Amino acid sequence: MLLYVIRHGHPDYATDSLTPLGQAQAAALPARFLPHGLDRVFASPLGRAQATARPTATALDLPIGTEDWCSENLAWGEFALAFPDGRRHWIFDLPAFRLRQEGIPPECAAQIQYEEGYARIRRESDAFVERLGYRREDGLYRILRPSEEKVALFCHAGFSMVWFPYLLDVDPVWFWTSFDLTHAGIIVVRFENHPEGLTAPRCLAWSDTGPLFHAGLELKYNDEIEF
């Protein structure tokens, strides 16, 4: 099985929708999936994720299954805290060097719901992946139904940043200080069907923006860095 996880396009967070740039990014994505197809399309319930999924689902004549647990609002409530600037930020927005050196500072840990958040992520992730044919066992996945399906999930950076350490069975702090995800970036994860009946998901691509490049759209990482 190939699992594609796609961040929503450039957002207008105030209205939970896409900006004109985000709409153009969403419109560029079907060209990435049409050559090989998709078997299923899922999305977070939030408007910006649904709007990003819609052009691809329409082009492939597939329904969009809504996965409520992928809502960034849930992860935000669990993994965001007040910073010295008076605004709330994700825990992984702390300077990477500080997180790598110290781990999560105690004064920050006291402001988030780390254990509760990961308990929810574990429960919901396991249920989702098991529906796709793979049951979690000690950091690996038991192959219940060997699948060659291609499955797309349109969601969010913040949600993905807290989900992927669990999905890949790696340390969250190490992951947070090593990876990030830009608008309409595509992640590809392979669940290889080994005859032994177990598999470990492997990331084949991270934050791929090739479709945006081919559509002639600007490549600007989260409005900050031209790349």
pLDDT in tens, 140-167: 999 999 999 999 999 999 999 999 999 9
Instruction: Give dist(CA 68, CA 135) in Å, integer.
Output: 20
- How far, in Å, CA of 79 to CA of 89, rounded? 8
Where b means 16+ CB within 10 Å and e means fewer, 96-122 reads eeebeeeebeeebeeebebeebbebbe
Is the CATH number of domain 2-12+19-191+221-226 3.30.230.10? Answer: no
Domains of the chain, residue spans:
2-12+19-191+221-226
Q: Which two tokens stand for residue 184?
A: 């309409």
Instruction: Specify whether the CB–CB gap between 122 and 132 falls below 8 A.
Output: no
Band the pLDDT of 88: cuts 50, 70, 90: very high
Q: Which of 221, 130, 177, 167 is nearest to 5 (CA)?
A: 167
Q: What is the pLDDT of residue 18?
A: 99
Helix (H, G, I), strand (E, B) or coil at 212: helix
The letter for the amino acid at 125 is S
pLDDT value at residue 224: 87
Q: Given strand 186-190, what is the order of strands in its sheet?
A: 64-66, 40-43, 150-155, 2-7, 186-190, 202-208
Q: If you average pLDDT over residues 175-187, what whole number do you get?
A: 98
**Mean pLDDT over all residues of the chain?**
97
Q: Could you report the per-residue pLDDT of 106-145, keeping only the tens digit for each? A: 999 999 999 999 999 999 999 999 999 999 999 999 999 9
Confidence of residue 194 (pLDDT cuts 50, 70, 90): very high
Phi, psi (degrees; rounded to nearest 5) at 225: -130, 125
- Who wins on pLDDT, 146 or 226? 146
Alpha-carbon radius of gyration of the chain: 17
What is the model's pTM? 0.97
Query: 131: Cβ–Cβ under 8 A, 6 or more apart, which residues?
Result: none
Buried b (16+ CB within 10 A) or exposed e, 203-219: beeebbbebbeeeebee
